[in-house]
């Protein structure tokens, strides 16, 4: 993976691959879009770090550093934009096929409960659940489809989707960046970064379930 990403690092193709993965992730949650974003950032960070170390005494070191940060910023914008695009496509599809999606969601108690919580949260302006769900496994799919089925307005959903996508992208790229800076381009740095991503997902699930636990008591 690192060799393939390394050959694409600094080219438009890495952004195309990341964008497609993130967009499709809302429909196929098993796609490792977060892992791919982290791997791309790790590869870029590790490659740039090696180049900077070799040319540390050269005046071009600062140029390499600036290009490095620009690449990370571009990767964040790419992943965030693709996240919002995927959310809105799923939202629109669910809006138009509301009855069909509503029946599908109704077959699962967990999905139905999640849809109900989402509607209540958006109604009272508590769209922070959209941000939390972006980190939870399959949470993005439930939120986007649920908002469409419930016919929530774009004004209610889009700002929170944008915030969620930006937060998730910035966190994922930061994990890959610092992992690549500290440990270089290796499976260890990527594995630790992916572990941190899944830890955030577990924390998001815990926070989303807190209201249910309080209500049960």
> How many domains does one find in the chain?
1
Q: Give the Cα separation of 139 and 214 in Å (integer).
A: 21
State which residues form the domain around 87: 2-216
Tell me the average pLDDT across 55-81: 71
pLDDT for position 78: 95
Per-residue 3-state assignment (H helix, E strand, C coil) for the chain: CHHHHHHHCCCHHHHHHHHHHHHHHCCCCCCCHHHHHHHHHHHHHHHHHHHHHHCCCCCCHHHHHHHHHHHHHHHHHHHHHHHHHHHHHHHHHHHHCHHHHHHHHHCCHHHHHHHHHHHHHHHCCCCHHHHHHHHCCCHHHHHHHHHHHCCCCHHHHHHHHHHHHHHHHHHHHHHHHHHHHHHCCCHHHHHHHHHHHHHHHHHHHHHHHHHHHHHHC
Which residue in the block uniquely carries the two structure tokens 């270089």? 184
pLDDT per residue as tens digits for the range 157-202: 899 999 999 999 999 999 988 887 777 666 777 788 888 888 988 8
- CB contact at 8 A, 150 and 143: no
Q: What are phi and psi of 59, to 5 degrees?
A: -70, -15
Cβ partners under 8 Å of residue 119, min gap 6: 146, 150, 152
Q: What is the mean pLDDT of residues 62-74?
A: 71
Other beta carbons within 10 angstroms of residue 216's beta carbon come to 6
What is Dmax (Cα atoms) for the chain? Answer: 65
Chain centre to alpha carbon of residue 35? 10
The answer to whether the pTM exceeds 0.75 is yes
pLDDT in tens, 100-146: 666 766 676 766 666 666 666 665 556 788 898 899 888 888 888 88
pLDDT given for residue 56 in this prediction:
45
């Amino acid at each position: 993976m690192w060799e393939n990403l390394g050959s694409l690092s600094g080219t438009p193709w890495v952004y195309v691959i990341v964008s497609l993965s993130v967009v499709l992730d809302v429909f196929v949650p098993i796609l490792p879009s977060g892992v791919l974003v982290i791997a791309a950032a790790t590869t870029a960070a590790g490659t740039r770090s090696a180049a900077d170390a070799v040319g540390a005494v050269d005046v071009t070191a600062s140029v390499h550093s600036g290009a490095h940060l620009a690449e990370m910023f571009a990767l964040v914008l790419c992943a965030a934009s693709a996240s919002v695009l995927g959310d809105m496509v799923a939202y629109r599809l669910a809006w138009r096929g509301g009855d069909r999606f509503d029946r599908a969601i109704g077959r699962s108690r967990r999905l139905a409960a999640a849809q109900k919580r989402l509607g209540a949260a958006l109604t009272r302006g508590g769209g922070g659940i959209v941000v939390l769900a972006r980190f939870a496994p399959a949470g993005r799919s439930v939120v986007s489809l649920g908002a469409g089925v419930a016919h929530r307005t774009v004004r209610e959903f889009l700002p929170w989707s944008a915030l969620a996508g930006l937060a998730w992208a910035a966190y994922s790229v930061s994990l890959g960046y610092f992992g690549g800076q500290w440990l270089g381009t290796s499976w260890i740095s990527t594995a630790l970064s992916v572990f941190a991503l899944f830890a955030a997902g577990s924390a998001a699930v815990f926070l989303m379930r807190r209201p249910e636990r309080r209500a049960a008591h």
